[in-house]
Amino acid sequence: MKKEDAKRLAIGMAVYCVRNTFLEDLHAGTGPSSEAGDYSDVKVISPYGEIPWPNLSRLDNDEMKKLMKEVVNKIYTVLLRMDDPEFIEGLNQWGQLMARKWDEPEDLKTEARSLKDKL
């Protein structure tokens, strides 16, 4: 696959398969402000005590399961339609529209190589 085609497809898939999922619901809440800038001054008060923001899990197991199931189903949907030029072009156009302020995709060669080591 040509690099420019891969970049467009990656952005389209990120928008459709990740950004446009249950993740939007999780992202919709109010985020904390940090005077320190690193959130070391932010804590959550729970019935069991204070939890420093950097140590706080932002997703519970059910939310993670729901998110990953949706992401997998959407990736599967894209893969089943890789030979449909109209679908892929629509995915690419929508990705470019929704992610126009995002950084360019990067090739993570080192990370990809380490996947083989994990098998």
Measuring CA to CA, which residue among 7, 27, 21 is closest to residue 95?
Answer: 7
pLDDT digits (tens, 9 = 90+) for 81-99: 999 999 999 999 999 999 9
Judge whether residue 117 has pLDDT over 80.
no
Strand partners for 43: 52
What pLDDT shows up at residue 113?
Answer: 74
pLDDT digits (tens, 9 = 90+) for 41-90: 999 999 999 999 989 988 899 999 999 999 999 999 999 999 999 999 99
Q: Judge residue 94's burial from the number of C-beta atoms within 10 Å of its C-beta, 0-12 exposed, 13-18 middle, 19 or more buried.
A: middle
Q: How far apart are CA 52 and CA 61, in angstroms?
A: 20
Q: Percentage of the chain with pLDDT > 90?
A: 76
Contact of 13 with 91, CB cutoff 8 Å: yes
